[in-house]
Amino acid sequence: MRTLWLHCHVASMAQGAYSIIEEAAIVTRGGLIEWIGPHRALPMTPADRTVDLGGAWVTPGLIDCHTHAVFGGNRSDEFEQRLQGASYAQIAAQGGGIASTVRATRAASEDELFASALPRVQALMRDGVTMLEIKSGYGLDLANERKMLKVIRRLGEALPLTVRSTCLAAHALPPEFSGRADDYIGYLCEQMLPTLAEEGLVDAVDAFCEHLAFSPVQVERVFIKARELGLPVKLHAEQLSSQGGAGLAARYRGLSADHLEFMTEQDAIAMAAAGTVAVLLPGAFHCLRETRRPPMEALRKHGVKIALASDLNPGTSPVLSLRLMLNMGCTLFHMTPEQALAGVTLHAATALGLGHSHGSLEEGKVADFVAWQIERPADLAYWLGGDLNKRVVRRGQEISY
Ligand code: DI6
Ligand code: FE
C-alpha cells in the first residue's frame, strides 16, 4: 500500500540538522519512506491513499534511547528525604536507592511489572515517541533479570512502538553478593548474560561505572563477555565522578556513553574517534540538583554526536516526557532547539545502533514520523509539558495512543 502525505513542512533531521523541506510531500510504502521532497517535485506515482496533514510540521518519531521504564514500586519517599538534605549516596548507603527498587521489582510478578510500566511508556508515546530503549537492572539475578527483559519484550509486542532491550545486570551489587563484587561479575558473565542472550532477550549490554557501583576493571570483564556474545555495549559513565568509563566505552566501540557530567576532553576525543554517542540526561541532572554540566564545549569541538534521553527511573529521573528533556537540554545544557531535536531523533537512533534505518526522514528509512500542529520546530523544545496536537505515524500507519 502506497500512501501520499500532503500539505506539510518537514524537518527531516538528515545529517542531524533540521534539513527543512517547506511545502513538502512524503510517499510511504511497506512501512518505509519511498520518496520525500518538495511537493512541486513529487513524481507522478499512483497512491492507494492520500492524507492531508493540514499544514503540520513533520519530524521523525522521537526516540528515547535511555530508560529504566520497568520497575517495581516508586521512590517518592526518597525524593522527600533528598529535599530535606540527604544525598543520593547517603540514601543508597542506608539500603535505599537502587536496592529498594530491586526489592520491589523482585517482589512483583511479570504481569504486575508489565501493568505498572504500561502507563509510563504510554505517557512517553503521547509525546511523540515511536522508539525507546528499556534497561533491566533491578532484578540482579537470572530469574529476575529475565522477568524484566520479558516485560520489556512484551511492551514492544503490545504497543505500536519499537522497543530495544538492554541488559543492565551490572547496575548494582545484589545483597546476596554483598562484599563480593568480583564474584557477582563472574556470575553475571558466566551465567546470566550468556543465558539471557541465548534466550534472545538482549539487544545490548550496559553497566553502571561509578564508585557506588562497579569499577572500570569490573565493567571491562562485562564488555569482554558482551563482545564474545556479539552484543554491543554502552555505559553509565562519569555521572558522579571521573572514573575513565567514557574512554573504556569508546575502547569497546560502545554505542554510547551516558550521563558524562565528569568526563574529560580526552574522553571526548576517544568517543569521537570510536563513534560513541554522548547520551545526556538532563532529568537526572535536574532531579539530583547537580551543578556540574557535561563538557559541552569539548563534545562539540571534537564532533561527538549528542543524544538526549529521559533516563526514566524511579530514583534519579522520574521523567515521563521526552519533550521536557528537549527543553532542559536547551536551558540546562545550552543546546539549541535544533541540536536538542537531533538528540532525540538521529543521534538517539545511532545510540541504539539504528542510525542507518531510523531517526531521520530520508528515502529508504522507516516511516516513523510525527505531524505536529506547531508554528516551527523550536516549539517542541519551547513548550514545557502539555499534550501538543499531533498525529503519530509508525511504519507508515497512523497510530492512536
Ligand atoms: N544511573 C541512573 O541514573 C540510574 N541508574 C544509573 O545507573 C538511577 C537508578 C536508580 O536510582 O534507581
Ligand atoms: Fe540510567
Q: For residue range 26-52, list pLDDT tens digits in order.
A: 999 999 999 999 999 999 889 999 999
pLDDT at 88: 87
pLDDT above 70 coverage of the chain, percent: 100
Per DSSP, the three-state class of 388 is coil
pLDDT at 350: 98
Cα separations in angstroms, 77 against 84, 104, 108, 234, 290? 11, 14, 19, 30, 20
Q: How far is the CA of 229 from the centre of ligand 1 (A)?
A: 25
Domain CATH for 248: 3.20.20.140
In this model, does residue 160 exceed pLDDT 90? yes
66 and 45 together in one domain: no
* Section 94-106 average pLDDT: 96
**Residue 169 is placed in which grid cell?**
545486570
221 and 282 together in one domain: yes
Q: How far is the CA of 317 from the centre of ligand 1 (A)?
A: 8
Give yes or no for residue 311 CB within 6 A of ligand 1.
Answer: yes
Q: Look up the domain containing 372 and give its range.
A: 2-60+360-399
Q: CA 357 to CA 216: how far, in whole Å?
A: 32
Query: Which of 314, 329, 351 delimits the end of a domain?
Result: 351
252 and 377 together in one domain: no
264 and 393 together in one domain: no
Q: CA 239 to CA 158: how far, in whole Å?
A: 33
Which residue has 520518496 as its cell numbers? 35
Closest C-alpha to 36, from 47, 25, 45, 52 = 25
Q: How far is the CA of 313 from the centre of ligand 2 (A)?
A: 7
* Section 229-244 average pLDDT: 96
* Section 354-360 average pLDDT: 98
103 and 231 together in one domain: yes
40 and 68 together in one domain: no
Return residues with CB closer than 5 A to ligand 2 (ion): 311
Q: CA 81 to CA 61: how far, in whole Å?
A: 37
Q: How far is the CA of 180 from the centre of ligand 1 (A)?
A: 21
Cα separations in angstroms, 84 against 78, 81, 289, 364? 10, 5, 13, 53
Q: CA 102 to CA 320: how far, in whole Å?
A: 21
User: Which ligand lies nearest the alpha carbon of 284?
Assistant: 1
248 and 377 together in one domain: no
pLDDT at 385: 83
Give yes or no for residue 14 CB within 6 A of ligand 1.
Answer: no
Q: How far is the CA of 355 from the centre of ligand 1 (A)?
A: 25
67 and 54 together in one domain: no
Give yes or no for residue 313 CB within 6 A of ligand 1.
Answer: yes
pLDDT in tens, 282-312: 999 999 999 999 999 999 999 999 999 999 9
Which residue has 553475571 as its cell numbers? 188
Q: CA 82 to CA 124: how far, in whole Å?
A: 26
The number of beta carbons lying within 10 Å of the beta carbon of residue 249 is: 32
In this model, does residue 272 exceed pLDDT 90? yes
Cα separations in angstroms, 284 against 113, 153, 187, 310, 358? 23, 25, 30, 8, 26
In this model, does residue 401 exceed pLDDT 80? no
Give yes or no for residue 290 CB within 6 A of ligand 1.
Answer: no
pLDDT at 93: 87
Residue type, 82: R
pLDDT at 198: 98
Give yes or no for residue 282 CB within 6 A of ligand 1.
Answer: no
Q: How far is the CA of 160 from the centre of ligand 1 (A)?
A: 27
In order, the DSSP letters of 75-106 are -HHHHHHHHTT--HHHHHHTT-THHHHHHHHH
The pick from 90, 98, 148, 222 for probing ligand 1's pocket by mutation, whose C-beta has the most ligand atoms within 8 angstroms, reads: 98
68 and 49 together in one domain: no
What total of structural domains would you count in the chain? 2
Helix (H) or strand (E) holding 11: strand 2-11
* Section 247-274 average pLDDT: 97
Residue nearest to atom 9 of ligand 1 (CA): 315
Domain CATH for 377: 2.30.40.10
Q: How far is the CA of 97 from the centre of ligand 1 (A)?
A: 8
198 and 139 together in one domain: yes
Name the band, by pLDDT with cuts 50, 70 and 90, for residue 212. Answer: confident
User: Which ligand lies nearest the alpha carbon of 166?
Assistant: 2
Residue nearest to atom 2 of ligand 1 (CA): 316
Which ligand 1 atom minimizes the distance to the CA of 97?
11
Per DSSP, the three-state class of 260 is coil
196 and 49 together in one domain: no
Contact 363, 36 (CB under 8 A): yes
Give yes or no for residue 78 CB within 6 A of ligand 1.
Answer: no
278 and 291 together in one domain: yes
pLDDT in tens, 174-204: 999 999 999 999 999 999 999 999 999 999 9
